[in-house]
């Protein structure tokens, strides 16, 4: 299968170093403290945030910082293969742990001792880059809930196909089993928070792909920041502050 | 798990660890990029089990395989499953019951290292497409948790997979009875009949974990339990021995720069090659002991055949050594094969390499044993019979074109087994006596090799 045509176009018509169209919506759910919908191409993820509030289980509360909980679920129709759902799979537990890990570094947990922040993530459509989309959606929902953060966290994936680094793989490209990297970045601090890589590759290839993913993170962060600002402006306008 | 680890560490201990680290010192006296001592143990009586000790962390892995129908979406592939058991025996932080998040993380890391990176050839596990494939399961039990479970579990799983032998399965040529639906029955050969097969591994993925401190500037390799509790983040690199990366795992934790990450990845590649060298040496030792054990096991099984051989053709087997004064002296070292067979496990690097033509050293010993026989009473020990059989086999093997220096030791044993079986049916031809003489003719350097077996036995 040809993943990059001689004209330099990928199967979905993008250039090798091009992100898919990003869409961010805020306040999409009403009963939670903050919610967001993040869309990258076809990949579509809902996130809802409850909290900060008193920890559900007293014994779990931490005396010096907030407890962050993360729930991940994907709809039965989200992937091509309709699968029986038998509770939480290993992969969904892993994904929830990854999002939690990224958020623990991002939210200023020291400011909220004994509190709990619960993040619920629902994948509606999985077309590659699910981990990154989950982290981005969770970040937007946390921002929507007005929880203090250290820096914005933005995530992006990249891969290596046909001896060429490709940004933001879709499902068809990711299913080849080649190298795939997912990076979460604090763009203002320029720190890599989360780094997941799979499949065998040389160190130089890995470095090239990770560098590309970092550029993708910065671009995604810019888009997310822009969407947030717009949302805040419209909120302010609605309340008559401007 | 991590939460409980925090409570293990007092603030002053934490400060001490961080302060010492600024001077590149660690609380257990290591340098920042040193591993703790790694030891391997392989139980004597089963293939596919390994215990790895990394400092005080101890992890046992057991590989089992079952011949069953494949998954419908992959009809020509076997499967590889991992199960990690964190029992309260290993650490008070672990709870009984369903695997927690820590166990799942360890399982996923093993899956990514060994299955998703395609280290194990799953297609080679197919016996009959769509009907019978090997389902391999790796159970990893943490016996003692003293930090860095990821590396220890990965190493144990890899060692167990490398030591694992599955029985050979063959498919009868189908369609014998006509155009029925049956395409041929699968026969499993007992390990005594055909040498069990190892798994085919494309590369050796090894996990190397770093603890990150102080904004990612200070780093330690192989963090102990206390260092892990004090660390602000972890990075696990799964690298092969050829400087390739199979997976990176940094689940949150403190942010680090890309350049620092890549530096650590390169360090991990170098370390993985070092660790793999130790693992290979340990496995060679284990393999040597295993081959030696097989010689004895054959004896136990073929005792009847051996007795026949002894009654009928004992003279043939024994006589050639008689006239040789040198062999009588060498006979003193003859008792070591039994002791060797009993030795359980090869400690790290203790076992020597199995030389090409590895059968020679045992040949020499067995030859010496046969030569000692005339002095012994009529009732012979069982091992002596095997030795005789081994000599016969050796003679046969040496005749054929298969006696190349690169020949696998198992091939020799096939010859031995064939000879034992042959002896049970009828007496050996008188012509064999000449071959035997050639077989036990002393070669230079044989006595040195006999001596080489001694330290293992004692």
Tens of pLDDT, residues B84-137: 999 888 888 888 888 888 899 999 999 999 998 889 999 999 998 888 899 999
CA distance B10 to A242: 52
CATH number of B2-166+191-285: 3.30.230.70
Residue ranges of A 106-135 with Cβ closer than 8 A to chain B: none
Chain A contact for B126 (CB, 8 A cutoff): no
Residue B358 has a pLDDT of: 34
Burial of B66 (C-beta count, 10 Å sphere; 0-12/13-18/19+): exposed
Across the interface, do B254 and A105 touch by the CB < 8 Å criterion?
A: yes
Q: B-chain residues within 8 Å CB-CB of A195?
A: 235, 248-250, 261
The pLDDT of residue B353 is 35
| Model confidence pLDDT, tens digit, residues B295-338 | 776 665 544 444 433 443 333 333 233 333 333 333 333 333 33
Provide the pLDDT for residue B309: 39
Mean pLDDT of B336-355: 37
With 90 as the cut, is the pLDDT of residue B59 above it?
yes
Shortest CA gap B250–chain A (Å): 5
A198 neighbourhood in chain B, CB within 8 Å: 112, 116-117, 246-247
pLDDT at A110: 92
**Residue A46 CA to its chain's centroid (Å):** 10
Q: Do A210 and B261 touch (CB under 8 A)?
A: yes
Give percent of chain B above pLDDT 90: 37
Q: Which one of A192, A211, A215, A218 makes the best mutation probe of the B interface by having the most chain B beta carbons within 10 Å?
A: A192
Interface predicted TM-score of the whole assembly (ipTM), two decimals: 0.90
Instruction: Give whole-number Cα distances, B210 to A32, B115, B254, B384, in Å.
Output: 38, 23, 12, 54
pLDDT for position B8: 72
Of the partner residues B243, B247, B251, the one whose CB lies closest to the CB of residue A197: B247
Three-class secondary structure of residue B365 per DSSP = helix
Give which of B302, B248, B280, B277 is closest to B354, Cα–Cα: B280
- Which region among A84-88, B5-9, B109-113, B170-174 has the lowest average model confidence (pLDDT)? A84-88
DSSP letters spanning A90-158: HHHHHHHHHHHHHHHHHB-GGGSTTEEEEEEEEEEE-SS-HHHHHHHHHHHHHHHTT--BSS--EEEEE
State which residue of chain A sits closest to B114, comparing Cα positions: A199
CB contact under 8 Å between B240 and A202, yes or no, is no
List pLDDT tens digits, range A151-169.
Answer: 999 999 999 988 899 999 9
Q: How many CB pairs under 8 A join A and B?
A: 104
Give chain B positions within 8 Å (CB) of A221.
none
Residue A206 burial by Cβ neighbours in a 10 Å radius (0-12, 13-18, 19+): buried
What is the per-residue pLDDT across B72-85, written as a single tens digit (0 to 9) for each? 888 999 999 999 99
Higher pLDDT, B277 or B45: B277
Contact A186 B104 (CB under 8 A): no
d(CA B145, CA B127): 39
Nearest CA-CA distance, residue A192 and chain B, Å = 5
User: Which residue of B lies nearest to A176 if distances are taken between CA atoms?
Assistant: B116
Which of A75-79, A155-159, B225-229, B254-258 is predicted with the least confidence, judged by mean pLDDT? A75-79
Lowest mean pLDDT among A64-78, A81-95, B11-25: A81-95
- Chain B CA closest to residue A213: B258
Residue whose structure tokens are 């043939």: B316
DSSP β-bridge partners for residue B105: none
Compare B97 and B372 and report the one with higher pLDDT: B97
Kindly list the domain boundaries of chain B, sorted by start residue: 2-166+191-285, 302-457
Chain A hits for B252, CB-CB cut-off 8 Å, are 98, 100-105, 193-194
Confidence of residue B188 (pLDDT cuts 50, 70, 90): confident
Which of B166-185 are b and which e, b meaning 16 or more Cβ less than 10 Å from the residue's Cβ?
bbbbeeeeeeeeeeeeeeee
Summarised one tens digit per residue, pLDDT across range B148-187 is 999 999 999 999 999 999 999 888 876 444 444 455 688 8
Tokens 């967001």, residue located: A36
Lowest mean pLDDT among A12-16, A67-71, B174-178, B395-399: B395-399
Question: What does the pLDDT average to over B4-32?
Answer: 85
A105·B101 Cβ contact <8 A: no
Task: Indicate if the pLDDT at residue B359 is higher than 80.
Answer: no
Which residues of chain B neighbour A55 with C-beta distances below 8 Å?
none
Over residues A102-110, mean pLDDT: 93
Task: Name the phi and psi angles at B344, rounded to 5.
Answer: -100, 120
Between residues B412 and B293, the one the model is more confident about: B293
Locate the chain B residue with the closest alpha carbon to A131: B251
In B, which residues are within 8 Å of A62 by CB distance?
A: 3
> For residue A87, is pLDDT > 60?
no
What per-residue confidence (pLDDT) applies to B56?
A: 92
Average pLDDT over residues A111-118: 93
* CA torsion, ordered B215, B220, B226, B231, to nearest 10 deg: 20
pLDDT, position B305:
41
Between A204-218, B41-55, B331-345, the lowest mean confidence (pLDDT) is in B331-345
Token match 């010993």: residue? B365
Report the range of poorest mean pLDDT among A37-41, B90-94, B147-151, B269-273.
B90-94
In chain A, residues 38-57 whose CB comes closer than 8 Å to chain B: none
Rounded to 10 degrees, the C-alpha dihedral B329/B335/B337/B340 comes to -120
Q: Is the pLDDT of residue B1 over 80?
A: no
pLDDT for residue B429: 43
When CB atoms are compared, the residue of A101, A195, A201 closest to B261 is: A195
Across the range B15-34, mean pLDDT stands at 91
Burial class (CB in 10 A: 0-12, 13-18, 19+), B362: buried
Say which of B108, B244, B254 has its CB closest to residue A90. Answer: B108
* Beta-strand pair A22-26/A34-40: antiparallel
The predicted-structure confidence for B393-441, as pLDDT tens digits, reads as follows 333 333 444 333 444 444 555 555 455 444 444 444 444 433 444 444 4
Return mean pLDDT, chain A: 91
Lookup: tokens for A223: 């888009």
Beta bridge partners of B234: B211
Residue A203 at interface with chain B, using a CB cutoff of 8 Å: yes
Give pLDDT, residue A37: 96
Looking at residue B354, its pLDDT comes to 35
Query: Which DSSP helix (H) or strand (E) runs through B209?
Result: strand B206-213
The Cα–Cα gap between B191 and B44 comes to 15
**Cβ of residue B262 closer than 8 Å to a chain A Cβ:** yes
Q: Which residues in chain B have Cβ-Cβ distances shorter than 8 Å to A189?
A: 255
Asked if A101 and A143 touch (Cβ cutoff 8 Å), the reply is no
| Chain B touched by A188 (CB under 8 Å) | no
Nearest-neighbour CA in chain B from A33: distance (Å): 24
Inter-chain CB proximity B117 and A199 less than 8 Å: yes
Residue B95 CB contacts under 8 Å (≥ 6 apart), including other chains: B88
- At a CB cut-off of 8 Å and minimum separation 6, what does B170 contact? B186, B187, B189
pLDDT score of B214: 83
Tell me, yes or no, if B88 comes closer than 8 A to chain A by beta carbon: no
Partner A contacted by B249 (CB < 8 A): yes
What pLDDT is attached to residue A86? Answer: 57
Taking residues B8-35, what's their average pLDDT? 90
Which DSSP state fits B113?
A: I
Predicted confidence (pLDDT) per residue in B190-242, tens digit? 888 888 899 999 999 999 999 999 877 889 999 999 899 899 999 999 999 98
Average pLDDT, integer, range B269-275:
93
Cβ pair A203:B252 closer than 8 A: no
Output the six-digit token pair for A149. Answer: 């953060």
Residue B299 · residue B310 · CB < 8 Å: no
Instruction: Mark yes or no for CB contact B251/A194 under 8 Å.
Output: yes
Chain A CB within 8 Å of residue B96 CB = no
Q: Can you list the domains of chain A with their CATH numbers?
A: 22-238 (3.30.230.70)
């Amino acid at each position: 299968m040809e993943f990059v045509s001689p004209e330099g176009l990928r199967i979905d018509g993008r250039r090798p170093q091009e992100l898919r169209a990003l869409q961010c919506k805020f306040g999409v759910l009403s009963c939670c403290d903050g919610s967001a919908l993040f869309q990258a191409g076809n990949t579509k993820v809902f996130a809802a945030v409850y909290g900060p509030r008193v920890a559900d289980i007293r014994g779990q509360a931490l005396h010096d910082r907030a407890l962050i909980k993360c729930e991940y679920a994907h709809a039965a129709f989200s992937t091509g293969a309709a699968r029986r759902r038998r509770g939480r799979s290993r992969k969904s537990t892993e994904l929830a742990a990854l999002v939690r890990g990224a958020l623990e570094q991002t939210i200023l947990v020291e400011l909220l001792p004994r509190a709990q922040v619960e993040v619920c993530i629902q994948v509606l459509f999985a077309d590659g880059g699910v981990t990154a989309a989950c982290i981005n959606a969770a970040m937007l929902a946390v921002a929507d809930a007005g929880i203090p953060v250290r820096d914005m966290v933005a995530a992006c994936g990249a891969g290596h196909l046909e001896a060429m680094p490709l940004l933001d793989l879709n499902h068809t490209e990711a299913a080849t089993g080649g190298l795939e990297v997912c990076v979460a970045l604090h763009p203002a601090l320029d720190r890599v928070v989360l780094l997941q890589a799979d499949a065998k590759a040389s160190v130089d290839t890995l470095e090239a792909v990770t560098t590309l993913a970092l550029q993708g993170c910065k671009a995604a962060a810019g888009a997310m920041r822009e969407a947030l600002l717009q949302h805040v402006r419209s909120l302010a306008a609605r309340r008559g502050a401007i | 798990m991590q939460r409980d680890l925090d409570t293990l560490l007092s603030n002053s201990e934490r400060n001490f660890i961080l302060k010492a680290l600024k001077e590149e010192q660690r609380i257990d006296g290591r340098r920042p990029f040193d591993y703790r001592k790694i030891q391997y143990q392989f139980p004597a009586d089963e293939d596919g089990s390994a215990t790895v000790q990394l400092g005080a962390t101890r992890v046992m892995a057991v590989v089992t395989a079952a011949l069953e129908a494949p998954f419908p979406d992959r009809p020509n592939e076997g499967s590889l499953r991992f199960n990690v058991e964190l029992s309260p025996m290993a650490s008070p932080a672990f709870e009984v019951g369903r695997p927690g998040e820590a166990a799942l993380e360890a399982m996923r890391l093993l899956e990514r290292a060994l299955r998703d990176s395609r280290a194990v050839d799953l297609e080679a596990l197919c016996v009959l497409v769509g009907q019978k494939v090997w389902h391999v399961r790796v159970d990893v039990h943490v016996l003692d948790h003293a930090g860095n479970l990821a590396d220890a579990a990965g190493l144990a799983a890899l060692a167990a997979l490398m030591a694992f032998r599955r029985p050979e399965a063959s498919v009868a040529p189908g369609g014998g009875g006509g155009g029925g639906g049956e395409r041929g029955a699968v026969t499993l050969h007992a390990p005594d009949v055909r040498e069990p097969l190892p798994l085919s591994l494309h590369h050796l993925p090894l996990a190397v974990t770093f603890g990150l401190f102080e904004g990612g500037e200070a780093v330690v390799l192989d963090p102990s339990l206390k260092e892990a509790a004090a660390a602000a983040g972890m990075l696990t690199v799964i690298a092969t021995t050829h400087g390739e990366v199979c997976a990176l795992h940094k689940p949150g934790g403190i942010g680090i720069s890309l350049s620092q990450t890549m530096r650590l990845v390169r360090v991990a590649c170098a370390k993985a090659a070092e660790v793999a060298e130790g693992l290979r040496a340990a496995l060679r030792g284990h393999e040597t002991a295993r081959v030696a054990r097989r010689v004895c096991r054959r004896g136990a099984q073929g005792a009847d055949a051996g007795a026949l051989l002894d009654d009928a053709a004992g003279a043939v087997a024994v006589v050639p050594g008689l006239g040789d004064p040198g062999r009588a002296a060498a006979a003193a070292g003859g008792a070591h094969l039994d002791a060797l067979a009993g030795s359980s496990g090869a400690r790290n690097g203790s076992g020597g390499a199995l030389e090409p033509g590895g059968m020679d050293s045992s040949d020499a010993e067995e030859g010496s044993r046969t030569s000692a026989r005339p002095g012994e009473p009529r009732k012979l020990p069982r091992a002596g019979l095997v030795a005789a059989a081994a000599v016969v086999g050796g003679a046969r093997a040496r005749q054929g074109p298969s006696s190349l220096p690169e020949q696998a030791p198992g091939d020799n044993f096939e010859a031995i087994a064939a000879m034992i079986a042959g002896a049970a049916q009828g007496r050996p031809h008188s012509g064999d006596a000449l071959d035997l003489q050639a077989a036990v003719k002393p070669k230079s350097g044989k006595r040195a090799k006999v001596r080489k077996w001694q330290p293992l036995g004692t």
